Amino acid sequence: MENSKRSSIAYYVSAHGYGHGVRSCQIIQALNAEFPQVTVHVISELPWEFLANQIDVKRNVLRADSFDVGMTQLDSIRVDVPSTLARIQKLYARREDRAAREAAYLVEQGIGLVVVDIPALPVEAAARIGIPRLAVGNFGWDWIYSEFVSQAAGWQPIVDILREEYAQTNLLLRLPFCERMKVFPRIEDIPLVASPGKSRKAEIVDLTGCDPGRKWILLSFTTLAWSETALARVERLKEYEFFTVLPLEWHRGNIHPLHRGQMPFSDILASVDAVISKPGFGILSDCIANKKPLIYADRSDFREYAILVEALQKYIRHVHIPSAELYEGNLRESLAQIWDAPEARENMALGGDRIAARRIVEHLRSF
C-alpha cells in the first residue's frame, strides 16, 4: 500500500468550460512523459471524447464525477447566476456524505496525492484522511462567487465553506492571469500551461472543402445563440472561411464544423488566421502560444473577465466586439480591424506544464 501511495495521484478537474481541462491534461501529459511510473486518476465530468483527445486514456484512470458546478451558462457568453446558486447549494447539502465517500475512494485506490483544478470538496476529503493536497489554478470558486453575495444571502455560506476547504491545501501552483488567491496558505507561481500547435491547413481543406486562399477565422465558443438572420450575415462574408469545433456546429457555405477527434484543438487554432471568442483562460493561453490575434466579446457576470481582458491587452493582438454585434452576426467591421491591430506589447513564458508535473511528483514523494 505504501509504494502504491507514492505512485498514485487523483487529479480532479472542473468541467466548467474546457480551459480547466486543457491545462490539466497538458500537465497530465507531462506527468505521463516524465514520470511513467506514476498512475493518474482523472476525475471529471468533462466529456470522455474530450479527455481521450487530450491524454492517453490507456495510461490514466478516468472516472466521471463532479465536485463543483462552475457557473451555469446560457451560452458561452452569458451565465445564469440564480441557477448556479441552486446547483451549488444542492451539491453542498450533501457535503458530509460526498466527502466521506470520496475519502473512502482515495483510501481504496491507494492515492498518495490529491490535485485539484479547482474543486474544493476533494481537498476536504483528502484532509480528513491525511493525504496531501495540491491545487493548480488562476482563481478559486470562493472568489468568483463572492461577487454575488450582495445579490442573494445564500451565497455567503457557500463562499465560507469553499474558503475553509481551500485553506486545507498544502500548496497552490498559481497560474498567470490570476486573482491573489490569498485563501491558499502556500503559493508558488508557475508559467503559462500552453504549447503551440501545428498548422494543418491542407488536412482541413481536405476535410471541409474550404478555400485556402481566404482568411480563416475560428469561432471558439461551446455554444453561441445565432439566429438564422445572424448566420446569413456571416455567410455573406465571402472573403472569410469560418470554423467551429463541436459541439458548436453549423453547416453553411463558409462555416465548417470540426471535431477534436480529427485533430487537436491547438492544431486547429494554429491553422487559422484569427480567433473570435470570449475571454477565457484556455483560449487566451492558446492564442499566446500560437501568436494568433483575438476578437473578443464581452462576458457578463464572471469576475475573471477583467483580469483576462487586462492580460489579452498585453499579450495578444486584439480587437473588441460588443456582444450585441456578435449576436447579430455583425463581424465585418471587427474582422477588418484585426489585421491592423497593434502587435502584443509583452511576451509570456510557457512551460508551466513541465514545472507543474515536477512539483506535483516532488510533493507526492515528500510525504
- Domains of the chain as residue ranges with CATH: 2-193+351-365 (3.40.50.2000), 201-338 (3.40.50.2000)
Please give the pLDDT value at position 366.
85
Q: Please state, in angstroms and rounded to a whole number, the distance separating the CA atoms of residues 262 and 265.
A: 9
3-state secondary structure of 48: helix
The neighbouring-strand residues paired with 261 are: none
Please give the pLDDT value at position 77.
80
What is the DSSP-derived secondary structure letter of residue 165?
H
Local confidence pLDDT in tens for the 367 residues of the chain = 445 556 899 999 999 878 899 999 999 999 999 999 999 999 999 999 889 989 999 999 999 999 999 999 888 788 899 999 999 999 999 999 999 999 999 999 999 999 999 999 999 999 999 999 999 999 999 999 999 999 999 999 999 999 999 999 999 999 999 999 999 999 999 999 999 999 999 999 999 999 999 999 999 998 898 999 999 999 999 999 999 999 999 989 999 999 888 999 999 999 999 999 999 999 999 999 999 999 999 877 678 999 999 999 999 999 999 999 999 999 999 999 999 999 999 999 999 999 999 999 999 998 7
Please give the pLDDT value at position 1.
41
Q: Please answer whether residues 43 and 145 qualify as being in contact, where contact means their C-beta atoms are separated by less than 8 angstroms.
A: no
Q: Please state, in angstroms and rounded to a whole number, the distance separating the CA atoms of residues 140 and 21.
A: 15
The neighbouring-strand residues paired with 45 are: none
**Angle formed at CA 43 by CA 41 and CA 45, multiple of 5 degrees:** 150
Phi/psi for 335 (5° steps) reads -65, -40
Q: Please answer whether residues 71 and 280 qualify as being in contact, where contact means their C-beta atoms are separated by less than 8 angstroms.
A: no
Return the exposure string of 328-359: e unless at least 16 CB atoms fall within 10 Å of the residue's CB, then b.
Answer: ebebeebbeebeebeebeeebebebbbbbbeb
Strand runs labelled E in 5-82: 8-13, 39-43, 61-63
Q: Please answer whether residues 116 and 136 qualify as being in contact, where contact means their C-beta atoms are separated by less than 8 angstroms.
A: yes
Cell of 71: 457557473
Estimate to the nearest angstrom the gap between the alpha carbon of 365 and the chain centroid. 28
Farthest CA pair distance, the chain: 64
Note if the bond before 268 is cis, omega within 30 degrees: no
Q: Please state, in angstroms and rounded to a whole number, the distance separating the CA atoms of residues 208 and 216.
A: 12
Q: Please state, in angstroms and rounded to a whole number, the distance separating the CA atoms of residues 44 and 33.
A: 21
What is the DSSP-derived secondary structure letter of residue 278?
-
Q: Please state, in angstroms and rounded to a whole number, the distance separating the CA atoms of residues 266 and 272.
A: 10
Please give the pLDDT value at position 4.
52
Handedness of CA 265, 29, 105, 14 (dihedral sign): negative
Phi/psi for 66 (5° steps) reads -140, 140
Handedness of CA 307, 310, 311, 317 (dihedral sign): positive
Q: Nearest-CA neighbor of 171 among 367, 29, 363?
A: 363
